[in-house]
Amino acid sequence: MMQRLIDWLAEPRAPHHVLTWYRRSRRYQDLPRPGSSRAPVSLVLSFDVEQDPEPPFDHHRCETCPPFLEWLDVVAGQLGWRTTLFVQGSIVDRLGPSLRRLRSSHELGLHGYFHELWGRRLWFAPYAAAPPRWLRRALLEEGIRAFERNGLPRPRAFRAPNLVCDDTTLDLLVDAGFEIDSSVAAYRGAEPVVARRGRLTRVPVSASPRPVFHRWRGTPIPSWAPYRTLNLQLFLTPSVDTLVETIDEILAVQGQAGSPRHLVVLAHPWEFADVPLAGCTRGNYNRLIERVRMLGDRLPLEVVPLGKVAGQVEVGA
Ligand SMILES: [Zn+2]
């Protein structure tokens, strides 16, 4: 209960942080236009490969994953995409053969073990608290063993489920030999820049740090201020202008911060399945190809794994 209360109080999108909304809004309102820079932009297509999101919930059930991985193998081969897959530890055994086919041209990281939280409880979701330190350490080791057992390279990248990750987890990641973390809570307005934390390089899912003001039922009363995050829903939005504006803001913030030019998109295999959840459909396969092609006409894109972006920031920098 206490953790959830603290999480609500710290929630930057909520109206008790309205002064921060205005401050941030001012800070990011006059971002320079990225203009016509032809410097390459790394596009990281990252997929959280995890248990099915629908009942019956089972940490080993992942029926939406094999068709997606098969599609990715074929299409990425044809288009030259090299993507990043964060795989939930408990389903690595089931997906072993598919993952082995992808290992040479895609990056394989770890997405928790049972899709648990790795930090403070969320005020808006009923997930259990993060396991204690000793158990988190054991879950990381178990995940690494699952990779090794299936003939996959030891994972060096990690993304916490629901982007919930605390300092204890970050220390444990370093102890377990991880080098890259992508768990920053982008949807809460983190800047879309690559940062170093000791031996870890942190590359967030990309989001614009400019809050979008929502007002209560047409009144001037501020109600909520989300941040546009490059999840699949936004990446495939019919409103191309919204997407382009978000990307321009992300690239401008990176330009100001001297961070590599990159876009990290977050998606899940189940979003490419005909499951009764908003926006999920097999039609997303072709939409994703089309969208990457369309952006490629506007920007000098390279579809690369997350590690390539992390590698652009020097160790110790
Ligand atoms: Zn997940």
**CATH label of the domain that carries residue 9:** 3.20.20.370
How far, in Å, from the CA of 72 to the mean position of ligand 1? 18
Q: Is residue 315 part of a domain?
A: no
Question: Collapsing DSSP states into helix, strand and coil, what is residue 109?
Answer: strand
How far, in Å, from the CA of 161 to the mean position of ligand 1? 4
Q: Is residue 299 part of a domain?
A: yes
How far, in Å, from the CA of 159 to the mean position of ligand 1? 8
Q: Is residue 9 part of a domain?
A: yes
How far, in Å, from the CA of 190 to the mean position of ligand 1? 19
Q: Is residue 316 part of a domain?
A: no
Total domains in the chain come to 1
How far, in Å, from the CA of 115 to the mean position of ligand 1? 6
Q: Is residue 210 part of a domain?
A: yes
Question: Collapsing DSSP states into helix, strand and coil, what is residue 253?
Answer: helix
pLDDT of residue 32: 80
Task: Verify cis geometry, omega within 30 degrees of 0, for the bond prior to 55.
Answer: no
How far, in Å, from the CA of 52 to the mean position of ligand 1? 10
Angle at 272 between CA 271 and CA 276, to 5 degrees: 60
Beta-carbon contacts of residue 10 (< 8 Å; ≥ 6 apart)? none
Tens-place pLDDT, residues 111-141: 999 999 999 999 999 999 999 999 999 999 9
How far, in Å, from the CA of 173 to the mean position of ligand 1? 18
How far, in Å, from the CA of 48 to the mean position of ligand 1? 5
Residue 228 has which token pair? 């546009």
- Give the percent of the chain with pLDDT over 90: 91
Read off the pLDDT band of 29 (50, 70, 90): confident
> Parallel, antiparallel, or unpaired for β 200-202 and 195-197?
antiparallel
Q: Is residue 110 part of a domain?
A: yes
pTM comes to 0.96
Distance of alpha carbon 143 from alpha carbon 139, whole angstroms: 6
Q: Is residue 190 part of a domain?
A: yes
In this model, does residue 279 exceed pLDDT 80? yes
Read off the pLDDT band of 313 (50, 70, 90): confident
The parent domain of residue 303 ranges over 2-30+40-310
How far, in Å, from the CA of 84 to the mean position of ligand 1? 14
Backbone angles phi, psi at 295, to 5 degrees: -65, -35
How far, in Å, from the CA of 183 to the mean position of ligand 1? 11
Count CA atoms closer than 13 A to 273's CA, side-chain side: 19
How far, in Å, from the CA of 240 to the mean position of ligand 1? 26
- Give the percent of the chain with pLDDT over 70: 98
Tens-place pLDDT, residues 62-94: 999 999 999 999 999 999 999 999 999 999 999
How far, in Å, from the CA of 47 to the mean position of ligand 1? 9
Read off the pLDDT band of 317 (50, 70, 90): very low
Q: Is residue 71 part of a domain?
A: yes
